[in-house]
Amino acid sequence: MAPMIRVEHLVKHFAIAGSAKPLQAVSDVSFSIDRGQTLGIVGESGSGKTTIGRCVLRLIEPTSGRILIDGKDLLGLSQESLRVIRPQMQLVFQEPFDSLDPQMTVRQIVAEPLRLHAKLSSVDRRDRVLDLLETVGLPRGVADRHPHQMAAGQQQRVGIARAIATEPRFVVLDEPVSSLDPTARAEIIDLLIDLQERQGITYLFISHDLTTVRYLCNAVAVMYLGKIVEMSHTEELFERPVHPYTRALLSAVPEPDPRIRRAKFVLKGEIPSPINLPTGCHLHSRCPAAEELCRATVPELEEIRKDHWVSCLRARELGFGESLGSSSPHGATPPPDKQSDDLWLSEVSSPKS
């Protein structure tokens, strides 16, 4: 069976006023997601993850590349055919409040996609809205409220009800829980999992929050400056990370368990501008494992184990990081030949009493 979505060599550049060079938001990104599965795209500011989400829904036009939704070439579709396919692909936004019209009631917000895309009588539409509210765990009583009268977690439930109103098969979730408190975040994640299990929806989950990604996703692609630097199944990626950037990201997440003390794998400095991209490997200026070679040569994404893709010239030398999720005090243990090298900061902060 063809994957739900396949993206091939996606490129997106933005022209920048006053700059001869474009901003290279996405450079040659390929991935696919099977039906009913969730791919997480993680990365920090400027990694291009949000741009990918917009491109795969064709909300913005890619510079080049191919996007196949359910085998159909999305970029080849006319506006007319696009309108037909739109209800099957939806988006949930990061800021629930900003993405809901403050003048509309919850009922109107959830009914809007039904008015546009479903041929329902007004009575049926009314019932369908109440069903949808129930599906996302909202009491019927909120139907006549306005977004500002609800807590952020409830607002996001409204955003989700709107997104699933047309029974989409593919939903892009763009940081849907980033602005929420931890308990509301957990509730929304549980709701998304529940909806996926019941309706078989395929998710592209865009996030900078590795903890949530690990909880929700079957596979993860890590992005840095417009490129995928590592991609694999969730457990493989979290347990056996290879790319220095992935390891740095994982070691930077404060583990909500005081028994776990991770080895520090620290990147120097800040993310370079996507207008003036570094030569060679984009990470070389910050990477503690960089060598002369990395400055000049652009690494390719290579499959170094089954279903484990890494874009790093030194991937085979660096080997796999050890388990990062165990209660062992050592996280990314340095490989033996690197023990003395100060670039692998294996020192573990002593547990506080």
Binding mask 284-323 for other proteins (x = CB under 8 A): ----------------------------------------
Only one of the segments 106-114, 117-125, 168-176, 187-195 lies at the binding site for other proteins (rule: CB under 8 A); that segment is 187-195
Burial zone of 322 (CB within 10 Å; 0-12 exposed, 13-18 middle, 19+ buried): middle
Say whether residue 255 binds other proteins (CB under 8 A).
Answer: yes
Q: Is 36 left (phi over 0), alpha (psi -120 to 50) or beta?
A: left
Say whether residue 135 binds other proteins (CB under 8 A).
Answer: no
Say whether residue 325 binds other proteins (CB under 8 A).
Answer: yes
User: How would you classify the pairing of strands 89-92 and 170-174?
Assistant: parallel
Neighbours of 246 (CB within 10 A): 27
Q: Which amino acid is at 283?
A: L
Say whether residue 275 binds other proteins (CB under 8 A).
Answer: no
Q: Which is nearer to other proteins, 62 or 244 (CB)?
A: 244
Residue written as tokens 């997106």?
12
Say whether residue 343 binds other proteins (CB under 8 A).
Answer: no
Binding mask 45-84 for other proteins (x = CB under 8 A): x---------------------------------------
Only one of the segments 4-12, 24-32, 149-157, 167-175 lies at the binding site for other proteins (rule: CB under 8 A); that segment is 149-157
Three-state DSSP state, 100: coil
Burial zone of 180 (CB within 10 Å; 0-12 exposed, 13-18 middle, 19+ buried): buried
DSSP 320-337: ----SSSS-S-SSPPPGG
In the complex, the smallest distance separating the C-beta of residue 210 from other proteins, rounded to whole angstroms, is: 7
In the complex, the smallest distance separating the C-beta of residue 50 from other proteins, rounded to whole angstroms, is: 14
Q: Which is nearer to other proteins, 29 or 267 (CB)?
A: 267
CA 324, CA 240: separation in Å to the nearest integer?
Answer: 8
Structure tokens given for 157: 């439930």
Say whether residue 153 binds other proteins (CB under 8 A).
Answer: yes
Q: Which of 29, 210, 315, 332 binds other proteins (CB under 8 A)?
A: 210
Q: Which is nearer to other proteins, 167 or 190 (CB)?
A: 190
Structure tokens given for 93: 């936004």
CA distances from 224 to 172, 227, 229, 245, 317 (A): 20, 6, 7, 8, 21
Say whether residue 348 binds other proteins (CB under 8 A).
Answer: no
8 A C-beta contact, residue 247 and residue 332: yes
Q: Which residues bind other proteins (CB under 8 A)?
A: 44-45, 151-154, 181-187, 190, 193, 208, 210-211, 214-215, 248-249, 251-261, 264, 266-267, 269-271, 325, 351-353
